[in-house]
Structure 1
Amino acid sequence: MILRRWRGAVRAEDAEAYLAHQDETGVRAYRETPGNLGVLVLRRPVGDLVEVVTLSLWNSMDAVRRFAGDQPEVAVFYPGDDDLLVEKDLHVDHHEVVDADLDRALQLRAE
Structure 2
Amino acid sequence: MIARIWHGKISIESVDVYTDFLKHVAIPDYQKTVGFKGLTFLRQVRNGEVHFNLITFWENLEVIKNFAGQDFEKAKYYPEDNNFLLEFEEKVQHYEVFASVQLL
Same structural fold, with TM-score higher than 0.5 when normalized by the shorter chain = yes
RMSD: 1.1
Other-structure match for 1:100: 100
Aligned length: 104
Contact 1:25 1:78 survives alignment (8 Å): no
Q: For residues 2 and 58 of structure 1, what CA distance do their matches in structure 2 show?
A: 5
What is the identity, as a one-letter code, of the residue corresponding to 1:72? F
Other-structure match for 2:68: 68
What is the identity, as a one-letter code, of the residue corresponding to 1:15? V
Contact 1:2 1:94 survives alignment (8 Å): yes
- 1:1-111 paired onto structure 2 within 5 Å: 1-102=1-102, 105=103, 109=104
What is the identity, as a one-letter code, of the residue corresponding to 1:43? R
Shift of 1:42: 0.3
Gaps in structure 2 of 5+ consecutive residues? none
Q: For residues 98 and 18 of structure 1, what CA distance do their matches in structure 2 show?
A: 32
Gaps in structure 1 of 5+ consecutive residues? none
Query: Where in structure 1 do 4 or more consecutive aligned residues deviate above 6 Å?
Result: none
Equivalent position SS for 1:29: helix
Shift of 1:26: 2.5
Per-residue CA shift, 1:30-76, capped at 9, x if unaligned? 11100000011100011010001111000111111110010110011
Shift of 1:98: 0.9
Q: Which has the higher helix share?
A: 1
Q: For residues 89 and 33 of structure 1, what CA distance do their matches in structure 2 show?
A: 23
Shift of 1:77: 0.8
The percent identity for this pair of structures is: 28
Compute the TM-score of the two structures, normalised by the length of structure 2: 0.93
Q: For residues 28 and 90 of structure 1, what CA distance do their matches in structure 2 show?
A: 23
